[in-house]
Amino acid sequence: MADDVRKIATGAQPPSAPPAVAGTKPARVESRAERARRAAYRSRFALLYVVLAVVAGGALGALVVLVSRGSPAPAAAWSSWQPTGTSDQRVAQIASKTAGKYDLPSGNQLVTITAGPPSVTGPDGTSFRVNAIAVRPDTSRGQADASDINAVNAAGTVMYQLCGLGTSCSIAEGKATVARGALLRREALELALYTFKYVKATDSVLVLLPPRPDGKAAAAVFLERSDVSPELARPLSDTLSAPLTPGIGEISAAEVRVLERITRPRLYTYGYVQGQNGSPIMVLTPVLGS
């Protein structure tokens, strides 16, 4: 300890730092350019983080808006009821459902309905499949020539026959009137719309209306899919708007206009001719001025 005191008193210097160990490199002095480059990298990363934060914030905001709005409202159903099963099952269900909705003033069912491919029954009761339908044009206004016949392949046609309980499927109760004819055409339109909507392979619908008791004036409504494409694109209640099926003389003015627009120009008398291969061809002739 005395030696230490003497060293301090005489101003002796403390031992210097130990010499550098051999093999070590001196600290590298960073240049100004490198410092600037590192600062630029930091700025770029900072900007990238800001952009990512903005994107994430926008996505979160959009998610909040979607959640607050909820799921979009489902499209309105075309009808409150629809058939199920195969095409034949659907056609049968449409016929049964529609027939049960239309009544006579007595409360009895207006008509029964049978459905299937177009066919004709011969004198001996044999049924023959109709392979083609020849639709004659309306020449009453001079806008078509009698030779402009529209030949329709009946393979894509569904035929409904409306049959009353009288002679030759005529309606036994009451008299044939304009009002009753309008109700039958409404029933035919409803059959066609359901069929086009729910039986996808259907190209045309033929509805045979009940004849008069004397067997004359057998008429039919014939519609192709394109004839009612606007009606198929909106709910059925927009076309047939009555909440309950009307009776004879009870159709609203709005529905009468629909029936006149769609079914009146497509009301025909019908008959059959034999084709070259022996199969029957149905011939539809416009009912003019009816």
Q: How is the chain split into domains, by residue range? A: 29-74, 87-286
10 pLDDT above the threshold of 70? no
Q: How confident is the model at residue 201 (pLDDT cuts 50, 70, 90)?
A: very high
pLDDT single digits (tens) 123-148 = 888 899 999 999 999 888 777 888 89
What predicted TM-score, i.e. pTM, was given to this entire model? 0.74
Q: Residue ranges of the alpha helices (H) in the chain?
A: 2-9, 32-69, 87-99, 178-198, 229-232, 236-239, 253-262
Region for 116 from its dihedrals, namely left if φ exceeds 0, alpha if ψ lies in -120 to 50, beta otherwise = left
Length of the chain as a residue count:
290
Percent of the chain past pLDDT 90, that is, above it, reads: 61
Q: Report pLDDT for 67.
A: 43
The C-alpha atoms of residue 93 and residue 117 are separated, in whole angstroms, by 15
Q: How far is CA 111 from the centre of its chain?
A: 30
Task: Kindly report the number of other CB atoms within 10 A of residue 107's CB atom.
Answer: 7
Per-residue pLDDT at 14 exceeds 50 = no
What pLDDT band is residue 74 in, cutting at 50, 70 and 90? low
Residue 36, both tokens: 């600037």
- For the ranges 31-40, 236-245, 251-260, the lowest mean pLDDT is seen at 31-40
CA–CA dist 75, 72 (Å, integer): 9
